[in-house]
């Protein structure tokens, strides 16, 4: 399923991975795909942070990918699917790219190496090696709060010159860095916000879209924020965002993806809010706040 290295844009969903009794819940995966294929999203990312990818073994990751491809085919929607990867050993990631070369994915979201905190030159060489190892497009994932290292703009722009490095999921938490990147980046390099609470501001500043875990819920409203901005309806977008702003606050009040899984379970989209250790379920207090939001929105059940 290799595609031309087109820069991604719009609203992308980093899909959660449902579990039941310790195992991957295939039925819930299919239910999620059937649901989100009907929603105004522009792509899916599998087995990334929100998908608890670090707790999945190789066979489970492959199973998630294959289930998603099968379920999407049944819906008839050709939605792009990217695979989330991370690691601090360049050689292992090169082997992973080779191992997944025939999988039905359209590209990769690859995080900066965690814990080892390499230099900027090390980061460039790392991603150049990965770029050389695949013909598929790659989106960089810059999230220093989780990895301990920030991919600076000088290094980012060197990587952006590569044909198949087509964008970044930007979680640098430095508005000045993001604005500078938006000013200097080539036109065929996408900047996608990964900060759910800053979604509206990122779009106003000119980001090409976002990868939003919060868009698991009230998906149409999240998409509408961007569509109104594209239609030059800044006031309407601001009003829509003001109504939505509580959602990221709820979903990140405790470690993600626990609140998202609880919400989806309450909607009937997954059979269980189960997580894998070290992640744990949400508190009774947060559950009550989410239930209140669901009640106020008169949410329907998708079971």
Enumerate the known binding-site residues. Answer: 50, 211
Q: Which residues are annotated as a binding site for pyruvate?
A: 50, 211
Here the tokens at position 64 are 């998630």
Q: Is 199 a catalytic residue?
A: no
What distance in Å separates the CA atoms of residue 172 and residue 149, rounded to the nearest whole number? 10
Q: What angle do CA 147, 280, 289 make, to 5 degrees?
A: 105
| Residues forming a β-bridge with 215 | none
- Please give the C-alpha separations between residue 7 and each of 31, 53, 69, in angstroms, as whole numbers: 28, 24, 21
The active-site residue out of 169, 185, 199, 261 is: 169
User: Rounded to an integer, what distance in angstroms lies between the CA atom of residue 175 and that of residue 167?
Assistant: 17
As a whole number of angstroms, the distance between CA 119 and CA 242 comes to: 40
Q: Of residues 36, 141, 199, 262, which has the active-site annotation?
A: 141
Q: Do 24 and 63 contact (CB within 8 A), yes or no? A: yes
- Binning the chain into helix, strand and coil, the percentages to the nearest 5 are 50, 15, 40
Is 141 in the active site?
yes
For β-strands 10-14 and 23-24, DSSP reports them as unpaired
Residue 248 structure tokens: 């990221």
Q: Is 19 helix (H, G, I), strand (E, B) or coil?
A: strand
Residues with catalytic function: 141, 169
């Amino acid at each position: 399923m290799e595609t031309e290295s087109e820069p991604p844009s719009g609203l992308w969903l980093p899909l959660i991975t449902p579990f039941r009794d310790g195992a991957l819940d295939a039925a819930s995966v299919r239910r999620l795909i059937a649901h989100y294929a009907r929603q105004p999203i522009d792509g899916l990312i599998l087995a990334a942070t929100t998908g608890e990818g670090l707790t999945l073994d190789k066979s489970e990751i492959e199973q998630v990918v294959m289930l998603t491809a099968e379920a999407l085919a049944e819906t008839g929607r050709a939605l792009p699917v990217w695979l989330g990867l991370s690691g601090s050993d360049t050689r292992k990631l090169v082997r992973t790219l080779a191992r997944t070369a025939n999988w039905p994915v359209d590209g990769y979201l690859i995080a900066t190496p965690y814990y080892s905190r390499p230099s900027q030159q090390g980061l460039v060489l790392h991603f150049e090696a990965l770029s050389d190892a695949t013909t598929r497009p790659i989106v960089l994932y810059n999230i220093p709060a989780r990895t301990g290292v920030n991919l600076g703009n000088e290094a980012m722009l060197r990587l952006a010159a590569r044909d198949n490095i087509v964008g970044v999921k930007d979680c640098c938490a430095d508005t000045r860095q993001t604005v500078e990147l938006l000013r200097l980046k080539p036109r065929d390099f996408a900047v996608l916000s990964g900060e759910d609470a800053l979604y509206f501001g990122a779009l106003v500043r000119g980001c090409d879209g976002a990868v939003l875990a919060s868009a698991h819920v009230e998906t149409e409203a999240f998409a509408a924020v961007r569509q109104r901005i594209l239609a030059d309806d800044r006031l309407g977008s601001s009003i829509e965002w003001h109504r939505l702003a509580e959602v990221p606050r709820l979903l990140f009040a405790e470690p993600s993806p626990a609140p998202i899984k609880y919400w989806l379970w309450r909607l009937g989209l997954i059979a269980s809010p189960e997580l894998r250790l070290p992640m744990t379920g949400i508190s009774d207090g947060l559950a009550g706040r989410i239930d209140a939001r669901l009640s106020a929105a008169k949410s329907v059940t998708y079971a």
